């Protein structure tokens, strides 16, 4: 069992929760950030701590708040001074059609999806350097071709991709940084339109939805292969081949 530590933002639900469980099973101590999902975060904490005492800690912060990154890093550094893995998973996926997108929506999406990951990473670089750790950013396949009615979301994720490459280059191996771009892994909680889902599936050469395990397996690959740096891995069943 290792003694490594990982901070995962947006770790209470969906892909984030799956990553937490997988890392915990690999011996990591989990530092789980969440927004408003207190019950889910508390339940996951209890689940993990029942398997290994004092192995999961939780903290709430709204990433739309410009002080969130500092609050999260301050909390983490009260527990540990060395961090092995930071996973910037939390994001906001709001539609913002060109015709009526607002400055408030722009600010919210850029703050949550780009600004907070940047400043959280910045704050934790000293702790990451101590362990020669890694940052993994959750990007999106739509940064390459766009997604209808989501121009601000796609721009925010494209910026996060650029930051991923910049960090990998600028740290010169002292801290690795890679990205994972999921395709259709889970349907959005609010999306139950069968015709839309079928249209998406027709664009995937594999012909089916992915699974959260496909993301967690990629996370583990990036942890275990210490010569991968500055890469964005599409986990999409080949969907990006469709143009």
Going by pLDDT thresholds of 50, 70 and 90, the confidence category of residue 207 is low
Assign residue 141 the CATH number of its domain: 3.40.50.720
Mean pLDDT of the chain, nearest integer: 93
For 143-160, the pLDDT digits (tens) are: 988 889 999 999 999 999
Catalytic residue among 31, 34, 153, 227: 153
pLDDT of residue 65: 96
Tell me whether residue 34 is one of the annotated catalytic residues. no
Q: pLDDT tens digits, residue range 154-183?
A: 999 999 999 999 999 999 999 999 999 998
Q: What is the pTM of this model?
A: 0.94
DSSP string, 14-47: HHHHHHHHHHHHTTPEEEEEESS-HHHHHHHHHH
- Is residue 136 helix, strand or coil? strand
Q: What is the mean pLDDT of residues 191-203?
A: 71
pLDDT, tens digit, 9 for 90 and up, residues 17-48: 999 999 999 999 999 999 999 999 999 999 99
Cβ contact 194:164 at 8 Å: no
Residue 124, domain extent: 5-241
pLDDT for the residue 197: 74
Place of tokens 């940064």: 143
Residue 213: name the closest of 47, 53, 14, 48 by CA: 14
Give the pair of three-digit tokens for residue 98: 């060109």
Quote the number of domains for the chain.
Answer: 1
Question: Which parts of the chain are beta strand (E)?
Answer: 5-8, 29-34, 56-60, 85-88, 134-138, 176-182, 232-235
Decide if 66 contacts 38 (C-beta within 8 A): no
* Predicted local confidence at residue 198, as pLDDT: 78
Record the tokens describing residue 49, joined without a space: 């701590």
- d(Cα 235, Cα 158) in Å, to the nearest integer? 16
């Amino acid at each position: 069992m290792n003694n490594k530590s990982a901070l995962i933002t947006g770790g209470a639900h969906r892909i984030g929760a799956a990553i937490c469980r997988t890392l915990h099973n690999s011996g990591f101590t989990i530092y789980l950030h969440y927004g408003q999902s207190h019950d889910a975060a508390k339940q996951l904490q209890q689940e993990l701590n029942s398997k290994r005492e004092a192995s999961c800690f939780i903290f709430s912060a709204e990433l739309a708040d410009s002080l969130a990154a500092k609050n999260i890093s301050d909390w983490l550094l009260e527990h540990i001074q060395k961090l092995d893995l930071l996973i910037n998973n939390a994001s906001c996926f709001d539609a913002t059609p060109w015709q009526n997108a607002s400055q408030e929506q722009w600010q919210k999406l850029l703050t949550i999806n780009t600004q907070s990951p940047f400043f959280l990473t910045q704050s934790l670089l000293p702790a990451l350097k101590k362990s020669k750790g890694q940052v993994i950013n959750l990007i999106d396949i739509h940064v390459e071709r766009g997604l209808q009615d989501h121009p601000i979301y796609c721009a925010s994720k494209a910026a996060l991709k650029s930051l991923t490459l910049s960090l990998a280059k600028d740290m010169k191996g002292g801290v690795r940084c890679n990205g994972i771009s999921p395709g259709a892994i889970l349907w959005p909680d609010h999306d139950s339109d069968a015709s839309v889902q079928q249209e998406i599936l027709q664009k995937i050469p594999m012909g089916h939805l992915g699974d959260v395990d496909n993301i967690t397996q990629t996370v583990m690959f990036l942890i275990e292969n210490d010569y991968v740096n500055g890469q964005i891995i599409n986990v999409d069943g080949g969907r990006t081949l469709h143009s």
